[in-house]
């Protein structure tokens, strides 16, 4: 469906990617189905569940490199990755404390494809 308007979060910080989320107003209506559902965004609901490595569909656009100096990319199809607990994500071997409570950490522990790189190792 074509996107009519993109509304970025008021507190979005491009330096640290805090609140890196947007609302999309679509040109035509979406209808709920087994594959189309609203997103749960209440932190309290997320904290009540053990979400570590539970499946999550992701889709996005942005830079294809971590430093952001390459190409713009938009994923055409959603990819399936695992949600990762922030404490685990912030371990030294991964993001070393750079993931804030305003972010969602998702990926594949052994490396794999995400929406911003062709492959993550």
Is residue 118 scored above 50 in pLDDT? Answer: no
What are 72-111's pLDDT values in tens digits? Answer: 556 666 777 888 888 888 999 888 999 898 888 887 766 6
Domain over 48-121 is classified CATH 2.40.10.10: yes
pTM, entire model:
0.59
- Buried b vs exposed e over 11-46: b needs ≥16 C-beta within 10 Å? eeeeeeeeebbeeeeeeeeeeeeeeeeeeeeeeeee
Res 106: pLDDT: 81
Res 121: pLDDT: 36
Q: Contact, 116 vs 62, CB < 8 A?
A: yes
Q: DSSP letter at 44? A: H
In the chain, where the domains are located: 1-31, 48-121
């Amino acid at each position: 469906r074509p996107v009519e308007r993109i509304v970025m979060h008021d507190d979005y910080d491009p330096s640290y990617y805090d609140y890196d989320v947007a609302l999309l107003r679509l040109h035509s209506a979406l209808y709920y189905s087994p594959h189309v559902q609203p997103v749960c965004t209440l932190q309290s609901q997320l904290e009540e569940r053990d979400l570590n490595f539970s499946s999550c569909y992701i889709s996005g656009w942005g830079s294809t490199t971590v430093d952001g100096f390459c190409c713009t990319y938009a994923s055409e199809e959603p990819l399936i990755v695992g949600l990762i607990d922030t404490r685990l994500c912030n371990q030294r071997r991964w993001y070393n404390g750079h993931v804030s409570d305003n972010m969602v950490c998702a990926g594949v522990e052994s490396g794999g494809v995400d929406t911003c790189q062709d492959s993550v190792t």
